[in-house]
Structure 1
């Protein structure tokens, strides 16, 4: 029992270390990609010189752009979206409050006007700016996340092994469904009426979910199917709890859902790179936790019913 607990704690620490240290290569990964491209170019040119066939121009590869994409995520989510929220709450709202005070004085009229004016401004700002920009940033960031993951994977592991188009679509759909159901599961376990237990279980779920988000890019490029990805996490859950813990803790600090989303989009590219460079322990945990069993069963049933309903319509 003691050895098992020690093994679990060790894997948690290893996961945290890989999550933090793996992201440090962000400043060197583009140089490594550029060096490999230059090496391939020279080898190709040398082979063309020694060949008797007419020289064929080598197809130009895309320039390294991992750091660029990371900075774009920071600029969009931090420099535009998060900064606009700070400006509105810390500058515009106090300024308007001061103006109403100057115009109406310290009176009951001023209090009444401000009592409906502040919520109206907040709701209008959220409806016309916060929610649309938040959704837009999520969509744009998802494309940038994919670019970062693909570039990092090619740098360390070569070309991805992607399945057929039909399997690709099915994999993406079932994966999104499982992640959504798992997020709902995390909300349900947080309602456990025991002091601290609900919060701990929710944090545990978020750690694993963050790890799934980060590693899924690499596993998908390796051709792993959904059930294999989930089973691997369940068998090595201490490592993945540790890996997702830093991101879960940081994003849980803000009270605002939107600010938390900004932090996630800013930091998540680093965890994608960390997941690509991680060294997962080869020995599985002696106490596997089948934390995805319920959501996997529900997702499979939903998908089967959707397929049956679609076939009947045809």
Structure 2
């Protein structure tokens, strides 16, 4: 694969990552239209008339049941992560703390030793109380709620474009895939952090950015691939083999989350924007590398996945052919 193909794949991935912001404008409407058209033409016309008239409570309930919740879930993600979580942190750190500091300055004097001494232990104590009582509980709650909402968005988008998901053959295999996926993502974060400490700054930063871009792409595409029945080692191998496209796809999210040095604020930004990237990943058709030219940025994580998942979970021991029941 030459440089021209790599450049085009990166650009195409970058372009496709924004398609979710356009798709969301008409996604709910198409999903609702499909739900109405599943019934007979006569009933479909009657349902449309009832939904438009809004004359009674049962009709409004019917409309509520048939409407897609993609837009609603995206708005809820924005309100929870941006309107409540992020705004509370910004107001506390850039509003309340400076105000209290100024009050101490008026009381003790701006340059007084006592004022600086009192504030030196007051500020850490206030930060500790705020993060313990508010930030950590809300962060854990938002992670749980976001996971449910992200799955709801992904399932609705998948059913709209591809039909019913292909689920795992067994509950144990489904659970093992989910748990091992979390472990692999954690190991990959450690790997991305480790390469950032390479003494040559630009080399370490570039490799870390590349891996984070591909990890964000894995986050976005994993919902679709999981519904398609792809196992974890296949998902990782596919991203690694076609790294230019997925590098471009994950680049916007990596840039947005790098804007703040605070990992909490970056997490809020991620949770606000990620639903759009889920839809983008569902609608996108990745450009595959014709020569299968992998850049081994997932190693050794992908090696660990193939060693434990594909051999132990993905390919269980088969019953010998000569054994007959």
> For the superposition of Structure 1 and Structure 2, which TM-score range results when normalised by the shorter chain?
0.7 to 0.9
Gap runs ≥5 in structure 1: 47-57, 308-314
Partner of 1:96: 100
Inter-partner Cα distance in structure 2 for 1:277 and 1:127: 40
Cα distance in 2 for partners of 1:256, 1:34 equals 40
After superposition, where does 1:138-149 map in structure 2 within 5 Å? Answer: 138-149=143-154
Separation of aligned partners in 2, 1:291 and 1:110: 51
Distance 2:124 2:2 in 1: 53
Corresponding position of 2:298 = 292
Aligned positions of 1:114-263 closer than 5 A = 114-163=119-168, 164-263=170-269
Query: Once the 2 structures are TM-superposed, how far is the Cα of residue 302 of structure 1 from its aligned partner?
Result: 6.9
Q: Aligned partners of 2:288 and 2:7: how far apart in 1? A: 15
Residues 143-175 of structure 1, C-alpha deviations (whole Å, 9 max, x = no match): 100000000000110010101211111111111
**1:55 maps to which residue?**
none
Aligned to 1:6, which of 4, 7, 18?
A: 4
Structure 1 residue 72: Cα displacement: 0.4
Q: For 1:285 and 1:257, how far apart are their aligned partners in 2? A: 38
Partner of 1:71: 75
Indicate the SS of the match to 1:109: helix
**1:171–1:225 CA contact under 8 A, matched in 2:** yes
Give the alignment's TM-score, normalised by structure 2: 0.84
**SS of corresponding position for 1:291:** coil
> Which 10-residue stretch deviates more, 278-287 or 206-215?
278-287
Shift, 1:291, TM fit? 2.8
Can you give the 5+ residue segments of structure 2 that lack an aligned partner in the other structure?
A: 45-61, 314-325
Counterpart Cα distance in 2 of 1:185 and 1:255: 19
Compute the RMSD of aligned alpha carbons: 2.2
CA distance in 2, matches of 1:233, 1:62: 36
Cα deviation per residue 1:67-91 (whole Å; 9 max; x = unaligned)? 1000100000000000001110121
Calculate the TM-score normalised by the size of structure 1. 0.87
- Count of residue correspondences: 292
Is the 2:232–2:309 Cα contact (8 Å) retained in structure 1?
Answer: no
CA contact (8 A) 1:22 1:278 kept: no
Q: Is the 8 A contact 2:86 2:268 kept in 1?
A: yes
Match of 2:117 among 112, 126, 150: 112
Per-residue CA deviation, residues 84-140 of structure 1 (Å, 9 max, x unaligned), is 011101211122112212222332111111111111111211121112211211111
Which residue, 77, 82, 88 being the options, matches 1:84?
A: 88
